[in-house]
Structure 1
Amino acid sequence: MSGEDKTQNKVDEIQGRAKQQVGSVTGDEDLQREGKADESKANLKQAGEKLKDAFK
């Protein structure tokens, strides 16, 4: 996994977590769900990249 991919995936994860927090504070359940989905998507990308690295 390239350093750029790792960085982007981590940024996506942090943004998702931030959306969840903002949604929680403001009571916006849609934003919370969107943040959770973004974070999950980033985590799946990271896992996929790690799997690819394992087979190199």
Structure 2
Amino acid sequence: TGYNALAIPVAAGLLAPIGFVLPMSLGAVAMSASTIIVAANAQLLRGLRLRPAT
């Protein structure tokens, strides 16, 4: 997702050379948010009923 495409490089320290370092506590919150988003999407997809294409 777009969220992970942005968050993973930031968490890996890609922006450290320009002085932006993500604190560990915010990294933990971001990882938790990612897990919650994935779990919520799984629950939404679980209730989806697909019909064969005609």
TM-score (norm: length of structure 1): 0.52
2:51 aligned with 1:55: no
Q: Which residue of 1 aligns with 2:33?
A: 41
More helix by share: 1
Consecutive unaligned residues in structure 1, runs of 5 or more: 1-6, 23-27
Q: Distance in 1 between matches of 2:10 and 2:35?
A: 10
Larger Rg: 2
* Corresponding position of 2:8: 14
Q: What fraction of aligned residue pairs are identical, expressed as a percent?
A: 14
Change (3 A) 1:32 1:48: same
Aligned length in residues: 42
Two-structure CA RMSD over aligned residues (Å): 2.7
Structure 2 unmatched runs, 5+: 49-54
Q: Is the 8 A contact 1:16 1:35 kept in 2?
A: no
- Bigger relative CO (Cα 8 Å, ≥ 6 apart): 1
